Amino acid sequence: MFIWLIPHFLLLLVLVLTCLVRSQDNAAEQTFWPSTLPLTVRSPYFSCWMMSTANLQLLEQWSRFWNYASPSKGDPFLTLQGLVIIDDKVYQWLGDWNNGGSFSAATVTRFSVTPTRTIFEMQAGPIGINITFLSPIEPSDWVSQSIPYSYVYMDVVSTDGQYHDVQVYADVSAEWVTGSRGDTIIWNTTVTSSAIYHAAVAANPTILGETAEQANDGTLYLAMTSSPSVTYQTGSDSACRGQFMVHGALENSQDTDFRSVYTNQPSFALAASLGSILSTSAPVVWVLAYVRDPTIGYVTPDGDSQQRHPYFVTKYTSSIDAVLDALANFNETSQRAQSLDNKIIQDALKISPQYADLVSLAARQVFGAIDITVSNGSDGRWNMSDTMMFMKDIGSTRRVNPVEVMYQAFPMFLYLNSSFGKPLLAPLLEYQSSLKFPLPYAAADLENTYPHAPGNNSQHSQGIEQTGTMLIMTYAHARMSGDGSLISEYYDTLRGWAEYLCNTTLNPMANSLPTNRAFQAPVILPSKESSPFKRWRK
Ligand SMILES: *[C@@H]1O[C@H](CO)[C@@H](O)[C@H](O)[C@H]1NC(C)=O
Ligand SMILES: *[C@@H]1O[C@H](CO)[C@@H](O)[C@H](O)[C@H]1NC(C)=O
Ligand SMILES: *[C@@H]1O[C@H](CO)[C@@H](O)[C@H](O)[C@H]1NC(C)=O
Ligand SMILES: *[C@@H]1O[C@H](CO)[C@@H](O)[C@H](O)[C@H]1NC(C)=O
Ligand SMILES: *[C@@H]1O[C@H](CO)[C@@H](O)[C@H](O)[C@H]1NC(C)=O
Ligand SMILES: *[C@@H]1O[C@H](CO)[C@@H](O)[C@H](O)[C@H]1NC(C)=O
Ligand SMILES: *[C@@H]1O[C@H](CO)[C@@H](O)[C@H](O)[C@H]1NC(C)=O
Ligand SMILES: *[C@@H]1O[C@H](CO)[C@@H](O)[C@H](O)[C@H]1NC(C)=O
């Protein structure tokens, strides 16, 4: 019964954000043109994108938070500015800092999208540059998966056979810290023997708050591996960039005039001098992260308000340790990401090249919509047996664990690690098995209030499909993972739902959307006679 889901994966996974256009003119080999390209996409609040354009002038624009299409929601920009100096000539590799036309932009020749990476190939004078945005997907390492970070890395190679002097630069602005652009931001820079990093937070964060869909309770990090050739600076955007343009290096200085996002835009910059080279022997790597703890406010069946924590706390005592480990693990992580990319693409190519493109684009959307969390146990330790995943209905609402959206993403979780199904379904099943939940059919979500999940008791008109969908997902998880614990724990609820479907599915006046009912009723009804769930009954 589960197999029929798979072909629907393609149709269902393409989220609202993305429509596809095909290249008309240049770059003949470029066949895949998503309207928006993922840059750093790892959690509902660390989700940075770039609009794609048909003429490959991609990178002369500011990168944006996912809600770029809703200017009414506020300023969507997440400034990420990249510069490179080649033999004293300045080029821009990302961003839209015009500076009176005092430099030119590198020419993008091609981009590609894999499940974990977006890669831009470009030419800057006599140098070929590849910039890769890598947002790892870690199906078997939930600690790493729950650290909201991405790598931005750069490879360069001389294209005229000559040695060239190369200095590279990147900065991020305080826009990444909070959606409330008037908030005062505070920041600092730390230099250790292994890393140089900037940290920035809102001076008065609203814990578990949102403004224009961005959070304002996270810590922004920008980090590089320590080396005498790496320099840092905090200051206004023009101070940092101007310093680099003139000197090819930063001042190693900190601006301590803490202020709001729009007041002389506080910017956090790291640069590296590569010397006179023919090519880089290893990529130049920046790590960018936006880490929140607590992650989610959840109401337990007892009615207690619980703050839940990112899963990585089970390994790291502070978020910066997690981020610096990510920096130190770049080699292994990027190799793991490439293997995963190859596996996913090979499998998807068995359907078609277009399907491989769509899956590549959808993979980070799925994993960028979730937070993996644990609770603090009654013994004061992290309670790993209380792992829960929350998914935000990104793009339309703030719904928490929206059942039909989870269903669309579910094949990807089952394919990568079917164990994800349990923590994803657990919050919905736990809430609806409690006495607080009055309805005979399944809820559509846990409320429209991400990152708060209080549960939703409202009657709604999709009783049949949400109920069928919950049963299908619960069964698919048990069947693919062999783990029947959800079914055994929530058997009574699931059985009640099956009974509800038996009572209502064939009733034309029943509570549902007709099209979905046509799909789901035949799937569910046989379970009355020969319930596949019984096997897992306690
Ligand atoms: C799935 O995740 C679980 C929990 O992290 C892990 O123990 C298991 O090895 C993973 N399985 C796969 C196939 O990655
Ligand atoms: C960029 O990537 C392309 C495609 O993988 C490769 O052919 C090229 O050599 C790379 N360029 C650099 C500068 O690493
Ligand atoms: C730097 O800022 C971070 C984030 O506010 C803070 O956790 C850390 O303690 C600060 N470090 C120093 C040395 O002030
Ligand atoms: C990562 O690999 C590069 C070569 O590609 C090597 O120079 C570097 O030392 C490695 N880094 C670590 C931390 O192992
Ligand atoms: C851990 O979570 C499980 C599942 O919610 C719960 O039954 C158990 O009591 C918790 N343990 C502690 C020590 O809090
Ligand atoms: C976890 O709970 C213990 C007591 O149960 C408390 O002392 C501790 O502060 C809590 N830790 C966090 C991070 O909430
Ligand atoms: C609860 O769910 C209903 C039906 O899905 C929805 O219309 C309503 O907006 C939700 N309640 C709130 C307060 O978000
Ligand atoms: C299903 O119908 C039977 C018979 O009318 C009724 O007893 C039962 O409560 C109904 N169950 C649900 C979940 O609607």
Q: What is the pLDDT of residues 64-92, one digit of tens each?
A: 999 865 555 667 899 999 999 999 999 99
For 288-318, give the DSSP string. Answer: EEEEESS-EEEE-TT--EEEEEEGGGGT-SS
> In the listed set 328, 354, 374, which residue is the last one of a domain according to the structure?
328
Residue span of the structural domain in which 134 resides: 2-328
Please tell me the total count of domains within the chain: 2
- Ligand having the closest approach to the CA of 453: 7
**Mean of the pLDDT values across residues 379-401?**
96
Q: What is the mean pLDDT of the chain?
A: 89
Residue 54 pLDDT grade (very low, low, confident, very high; cuts 50, 70, 90)? low
Mutate to test the pocket of ligand 2, among 113, 114, 118, 121 (most ligand atoms within 8 A of CB): 121
Q: Does an H or E element contain 516, and which?
A: helix 514-524
Whether pLDDT at 510 is above 70: no
Sheet of strand 36-43, all strands in order from the earlier edge strand to the far edge: 36-43, 46-51, 64-65
Tell me: the pLDDT tens digits for 360-378? 999 999 999 999 999 999 9
Choose one of 299, 302, 382, 386 to mutate for the ligand 5 pocket test, by most ligand atoms within 8 angstroms of C-beta. Answer: 386
378 within ligand 5 shell (Cβ under 6 A): yes
Do residue 281 and residue 400 come from a single domain?
Answer: no
Query: Same domain for 310 and 396?
Result: no
**What contacts 354, CB < 8 A, 6 or more positions away?**
none
Residue 451 lies in a domain: yes
Does pLDDT of 496 surpass 50?
Answer: yes
Quick check: CB of 489 below 6 Å from ligand 5?
Answer: no
Whether the bond into 148 is cis, omega within 30 of 0: no
Task: Report yes or no on 96 lying in a domain.
Answer: yes
CA 336 to chain centre: 18
Is this structure's pTM higher than 0.75?
yes
| Residue among 137, 138, 140, 422 whose CB has most ligand 1 atoms within 8 A, to mutate | 140
Please enumerate in sequence order all residues whose Cβ is within 8 A of that of 373, keeping only pairs 6 or more positions apart, or say none: 146, 295, 296, 298, 308, 309, 310, 311, 387, 388, 389, 390
CB 475 within 8 A of CB 532: yes
Same domain, 300 and 441: no
Atom 10, ligand 6: which residue's CA is nearest? 380
In this structure, are 296 and 427 located in the same domain? Answer: no
Q: From ligand 1's centre to the CA of 478, what distance in Å? A: 14
Q: Would you say residue 7 lies in a domain?
A: yes
Which of 21-35, 72-86, 462-476 shows the highest mean pLDDT? 462-476
- Note whether 401 and 280 are same-domain residues: no
For range 110-119, the mean pLDDT: 95
Using CA atoms, how far residue 257 sits from 1, 119, 223, 260, in Å, is 62, 36, 21, 10
| Residue 385 covered by a domain | no
Q: For the chain, what percent of residues have pLDDT higher than 70?
A: 86
| Section 198-204 average pLDDT | 98
Confidence of residue 318 (pLDDT cuts 50, 70, 90): very high
Gap from CA of 451 to ligand 4 centroid (Å): 38
In CATH, what number is assigned to the domain containing residue 146? 2.70.98
- Which residues have C-beta within 8 Å of that of residue 32, sequence separation ≥ 6? 20, 112, 113, 357
Report pLDDT digits (tens) over 154-195.
999 999 999 999 999 999 999 999 999 899 999 999 999 999
In a domain, 335, yes or no: no
Q: Which residue has the higher pLDDT, 33 or 152?
A: 152
Query: Average pLDDT, stretch 460-469?
Result: 93
Residue 175 amino acid letter: E
Q: Is the separation of the CB atoms in 296 and 207 below 8 Å?
A: no
Higher pLDDT, 178 or 31: 178
Q: How many CB atoms lie within 10 A of CB 150?
A: 27
Are 290 and 428 in a shared domain?
no
